[in-house]
Structure 1
Amino acid sequence: MPAANPDRRLNLAQQLVHDLSQQILAGELPAGTKLPTEDAFSKARGVSRTVVREAMSRLQAEGLVETRRGIGTFVVDAIPAGDFQATSPGKGSAYNAVAIIELRLCLEVEAAAIAAQRAGAEQVQAMRTALDQAHDAQQAPCTRTDFEFHLQIAQCTGNSFFIDSMTHLGNTLVAAGEQAVPALGDAMQMREREQVYSAIARKDADAARAAMRLHLTNCLGRARAVAEAGNS
């Protein structure tokens, strides 16, 4: 039997890391929770034990789980997304939003360009699905649905550092960073995300880079406006 495609195995491991990290950061798997065995994960997810092992190693490297020899793998304490604001004493969420969107500009502009060069048909479709879900949530705050769209872009890069950064930091980045920005139904933001998607789908790296920069720069401008209004 031929060996499993390493790219497919990596993608499956990354998806498992994403799913579990979201459950941990959302508090659905609190600290102290014992995770299922490799064999149980393998059967439940329909993946090889090698995939599960790679995912557990990644989660352990990110400080979300620990393996106790002979006992099992357990969730460890993680900083909830809401606690991020407490790291900036004297500054409200609007100021945190400005700082975080500045960070996202450094990370996601180039990720969009790389995604345009590397995205496969299935990845583009997954990004389209995430984008449609974001647009459907017109009355919801910009949190998880918008994060899923940006995470799919990171997945398209095929670069584990981009993927791990968005997976590990995503809840905090978006939850804090978008609190000062209007809801997902904002027509301008919807157009901006469509431009990012369109550029990646047609494999135009320069256009993807420019569209993501425009989107996040506009988010930054809106966040700054809210921060200044709150300070007046």
Structure 2
Amino acid sequence: MTTNVGLRKGERVPRRSLRLATTVVEDLIDAVVSGRLPVGEALPGEQALCDEFGVSRIVIREALQSLQQRGLVIIRQGHGTVVAPATQWNPMDDDVLDARIRHDDSLTVLTDLVHVRVALESELAAVAASRRTDEQAAGLQPLIEELGEAVDDPGRYLDLDLKFHDAVLALSGNDIGRAIAASFHGHARSSSRYSGSTPTTEQLRHAQTGHSAIAAAIEAGDPEAARAAMRTHILSAWHIKTHSTH
């Protein structure tokens, strides 16, 4: 008899073996992060999981190993598999982070991501102000002008916003920091709680003030002003989003 342990997010559909393993991992990650499988609780046995997901024991074992590598479970030979404490989860794993954001009703995870973004982008903006050449600094002005022309077009403005922030990060010359900032921001933007509703023209004009201040500080070669302007800009935008959705 098949035992439905209620871990699936949707109905099972036939997939190739590799895709099946990936699906099992994704669904188990969601079950753990959402709390449907609480910390300290033992996962169903291999046969029950095989019945639930319609896959072989090999697929289930591979999936559990993948969860253990992410820090989500502890496999004890002869004693089953239990959900590990959240402090052991890998916060940098893409699938774990996406699941945490998806279930972030309190906005705690997104707020933490914003604070990381502030620390990283503020510092890189300061580095950009100290390293940029005159030609590079001048290159920000066309972006500022494009942003100003797009305040009545939210979709275009948000695309240009990404372009502007990436340009600032590129000026820092720190490709590792640039990649990390882009990754974190990408995860956050995938959440409607982070993106919020379509910004108003007034909100975009407020954001434009922040962009202009950042560009001006970098053009002036003033690291402290660039750091402060980036910090104010990101925190102000997050404050507006959280207060417009609650």
What is the TM-score of this pair, normalised by structure 2? 0.50
Residue 154 of structure 2 corresponds to residue 140 of structure 1: yes
Match 2:199 to one of 149, 171, 183: 183
Partner of 1:164: 179
List runs of 5+ in structure 1 lacking aligned partners. Answer: 1-78
Aligned residue for 1:88, secondary structure, equals helix
List runs of 5+ in structure 2 lacking aligned partners. Answer: 1-93
Partner of 1:48: none
Partner of 2:103: 90
- 2 CA distance for matches of 1:130 and 1:225? 28
Between 1:147-156 and 1:216-225, the stretch displaced more is 216-225
Match 2:116 to one of 103, 114, 120: 103
Match 2:212 to one of 194, 203, 207: 194
C-alpha deviation, 1:150, in angstroms: 0.6
Q: Cα gap change, 1:195/1:182 in structure 2, threshold over 3 Å: closer, same or farther?
A: farther
Residue 132 of structure 2 corresponds to residue 119 of structure 1: yes
Q: Write the deviation string for residues 104-132 of structure 1: whole angstroms up to 9, x where unpaired.
A: 11211111111110112332233223333
- 1 CA distance for matches of 2:182 and 2:170? 10
RMSD: 3.2
Look up the equivalent residue of 1:148 and give its one-letter code.
Answer: K
Does the CA contact (< 8 Å) of 1:114 and 1:157 recur in 2?
yes
Kindly name which structure, 1 or 2, has the bigger radius of gyration based on alpha carbons.
Answer: 2
Q: Cα gap change, 1:110/1:168 in structure 2, threshold over 3 Å: closer, same or farther?
A: same
C-alpha deviation, 1:159, in angstroms: 1.6
Higher relative contact order (CA 8 A, sep 6+): 1
Q: Cα gap change, 1:184/1:147 in structure 2, threshold over 3 Å: closer, same or farther?
A: farther
Q: Write the deviation string for residues 3-30 of structure 1: whole angstroms up to 9, x where unpaired.
A: xxxxxxxxxxxxxxxxxxxxxxxxxxxx
C-alpha deviation, 1:166, in angstroms: 3.5
Q: Cα gap change, 1:111/1:167 in structure 2, threshold over 3 Å: closer, same or farther?
A: same
Q: Cα gap change, 1:117/1:101 in structure 2, threshold over 3 Å: closer, same or farther?
A: same
Partner of 2:164: 149
Does the CA contact (< 8 Å) of 2:122 and 2:227 recur in 1?
yes
Does the CA contact (< 8 Å) of 2:98 and 2:187 recur in 1?
no
Aligned residue for 2:167, secondary structure, equals helix
- 2 CA distance for matches of 1:181 and 1:197? 27
Q: Write the deviation string for residues 92-114 of structure 1: whole angstroms up to 9, x where unpaired.
A: 59766534322211211111111
Q: Percent identity?
A: 20
Partner of 2:143: 130
Q: Write the deviation string for residues 31-80 of structure 1: whole angstroms up to 9, x where unpaired.
A: xxxxxxxxxxxxxxxxxxxxxxxxxxxxxxxxxxxxxxxxxxxxxxxx79
- 2 CA distance for matches of 1:164 and 1:220? 21
Aligned residue for 1:130, secondary structure, equals helix
Does the CA contact (< 8 Å) of 1:112 and 1:205 recur in 2?
yes
Does the CA contact (< 8 Å) of 1:97 and 1:178 recur in 2?
yes
What is the TM-score of this pair, normalised by structure 1? 0.53
Q: Write the deviation string for residues 166-225 of structure 1: whole angstroms up to 9, x where unpaired.
A: 444453344548513763842211111101110110001111111111111211211221
- 1 CA distance for matches of 2:173 and 2:200? 27
